[in-house]
Amino acid sequence: MHTVTLIKGDGIGPEITEATLSVIEAAGVKINWDEVSAGEGAIAEYGTPLPEEVLASLRKNRVGLKGPLTTPIGSGFRSINVALRMELDLYANLRPSKTIPGVVSPYRDIDLVVVRENTEDLYSGVEHMVGSDAAESIKIITRKASERIVRFAFEYAVKNNRSKVTAVHKANILKLSDGLFLDTARAVAEKYPQIEFEDRIVDNMAMQLVQKPQLYDVLVMPNLYGDILSDLCAGLVGGLGLVPGANIGDQAALFEPVHGSAPKYTGQNRVNPSAMIMAAVLMLDYLGEAEAARRIENALAALILEGKNVTADLGGTAGTAEMAEALVNLIKA
């Protein structure tokens, strides 16, 4: 029996979490869910969007499954997602985007893995006003964080039989910060002669991913570029409803969909639960439950290929709950 911290999240979070829990149960994995409240929902009860018990639970259980959490735009509290990653030093954000047969997309044979640095860059939150008409946000890049994220990308490539790692940067303009990231990446790459290594400037990378995505494999990059390009990669395979993410550190791991809380769809039983279900698949693999993970993954692929009981973003008419129910039936069959 595994004990896993559960954060249902804001907006569409609770709906996709319910769907995901029913699917995990159908696959026969016994999990003792340690449910904690974070985000908008926690403010009324605890007076803070990140109660201490959330961090305590994750530190104790070392594995968590999380729905999306809303972050106010422009003002208000800082991102709880970023705070969780930093507090627990979940330095690697792994976001795989793979073509799923049956999903309508102009792209075929996409198999990209974004490895996003998760603890520094412009997400360090070092921001201040300079007088009332200027603002400064400080981008922090360190050798230590760059080294461990690039090493993570190469280790992932070795373990998963991938052939190439591409480092993404803007070192032509940000000569010191991204320059340090690139120099560090080159040094780490020398230790993995069996894996091809190359680098791309981020703007060119965005165009290349739209025009020739099949040329790329594992992509490693600082935080902000990873945030943006992982959504781009999700777009290549059919949208945010499909792509999972894992935040991995040396002490803990937190699994979540790449997408956010999509507030406009809250409570409408409309969104696709697949990204969260696939996040659970990544979690089950991490927990050593590979057989259950493959059962869920294969059943979801079959459901999507059949195209009947799927949500609107996949061209179907099923609600979140109905898609989950069809998946549960398929897993049990």
Which residues have a catalytic role annotated?
123, 170, 203, 227
Under the binding rule (CB under 6 A), the answer on residue 68 touching ligand NAD is yes
Q: Is 90 in the site for ligand NAD (CB under 6 A)?
A: no
- Among 49, 260, 316, 319, which residue interacts with ligand NAD (rule: CB under 6 A)? 260
Contact of 39 with 31, CB cutoff 8 Å: no
If one asks whether residue 261 binds ligand NAD (CB under 6 A), the answer comes out as yes
Region of 159-167, 172-180, 204-212, 269-277 interacting with ligand NAD (CB under 6 A):
269-277
**Could you tell me if 328 and 22 are in contact, meaning their C-beta atoms sit under 8 angstroms apart?**
yes
Cβ-closest position to ligand NAD = 260
Q: Quick one: CA dihedral 103, 104, 110, 116, positive or negative?
A: negative
The answer to whether residue 53 forms part of the interface with ligand NAD (CB under 6 A) is no
* 81 is an interface residue for ligand NAD by CB under 6 A: yes
Q: Which stretch binds ligand NAD (CB under 6 A): 26-34, 65-73, 132-140, 286-294?
A: 65-73
The nearer residue to ligand NAD, 237 or 275, going by C-beta atoms, is 275
Q: Does 166 bind ligand NAD (CB under 6 A)?
A: no
What's the alpha-carbon Rg for the chain, to the nearest Å?
20
Q: Which C-beta is closer to ligand NAD: that of 169 or that of 259?
A: 259
Give SS3 for 69. coil
- Of 56, 11, 6, 13, give the one whose Cα is nearest residue 32: 6
Nearest to 242 by CA among 227, 231, 229: 231
DSSP-derived secondary structure for 120-155: SBGGG--EEEETTTEEEE--B--HHHHHHHHHHHHH
Residues that bind ligand NAD (CB under 6 A): 68-71, 81, 239-241, 256, 259-263, 271-272, 275, 313
